[in-house]
Amino acid sequence: MEAVECIKTRMSIRKFKPEPVPKNILTEIINTAQRSPSYKNSQPWEVVIVSGKKKEELSELLIRLLEEGKVPQPDIPEAVSWPADIAERINETMKKRGSLLGIDLNSPEIKKKSKAANFRFYGAPHGIFLFHDSSLNEWSIFDAGLFAQSLMLAAHAHGIGTVPQGFLIDYSSEIKQFLGIPESKRLILGISIGYPDAENVINTCMTTRVETGRILRWVE
């Protein structure tokens, strides 16, 4: 797939087919993502892919914590407020997705169901977790974001869908303990990955982008 087309057609997938992706393809995707730039070529990212029975057990653990009402303690705190123009974009996206599904995504009950769907990896056969050493600063978080984007584009080029999920780091300590990751590591992001279920209506929701003129300024 041509690079610009890959960037423009990638989208977040929220319903997957159960068929697993072969390990050699997942490995190739990670190998490609390793070509991402990083500060001083530090390459701070670390990757864990969870599949099969262990993924199901992790889902059960996360949903149990949700049902017990455990307060999320992600290694990277969730944003609590947004500037007005950004909040407007978020609200528009939520309304569009909610309208497509015929639900109110701001309803507390729906929000809880949405989290549970996240914790089930939207039915994907694999979950990817990105880590780095917790001693690293914001530059390394930025680098991990570049790695995540490269990973998702590489997957899309293979016809494989992904969705980056902030909710998947809600219970960072419990996830690290489950995966055997030292507490000295920072859990940055979770990504569900698998073959998209093209027939599911949720995967028809392509988000919009603001006009380039709103975010671009020329100084000449």
Per-residue DSSP letters for 48-117? EEEEHHHHHHHHHHHHHHHHTTPPP--SSPPP----HHHHHHHHHHHHHHHHHHTS-TTSHHHHHHHHHH
pLDDT at position 144 is 98
15 contacts 202 by C-beta, under 8 angstroms:
yes
Distance CA 69, CA 149 (A): 32
pLDDT at position 137 is 96
Q: Sign of the CA dihedral 111, 114, 116, 119?
A: negative
pLDDT at position 94 is 87
Residue 168 structure tokens: 């998947």
Distance CA 187, CA 220 (A): 42
pLDDT at position 107 is 85
Domain parsing of the chain, residue ranges: 11-78+118-208
b/e map of 170-186 (b: 16 or more CB within 10 Å)?
bbbebbbeebebeeebb
CA angle 180, 30, 116 (to 5 degrees): 55
CA angle 122, 124, 125 (to 5 degrees): 150
Per-residue DSSP letters for 148-200? HHHHHHHHHHTT-EEEEESGGGTTHHHHHHHHT--TTEEEEEEEEEE-B-TTS
- Residue 191 phi, psi (nearest 5): -135, 125
- The CATH code belonging to domain 11-78+118-208 is 3.40.109.10
Q: Which of 54, 56, 47 is nearest to 123 (CA)?
A: 56
Strands 161-165 and 185-194: antiparallel
pLDDT at position 101 is 83
* Ranges in the chain, pLDDT < 50: none
pLDDT digits (tens, 9 = 90+) for 87-144: 999 988 888 888 888 888 888 888 899 999 999 999 999 999 999 999 999 999 999 9
Q: Does residue 214 sit in helix, strand or coil?
A: helix
193 contacts 26 by C-beta, under 8 angstroms:
yes
Distance CA 25, CA 48 (A): 15
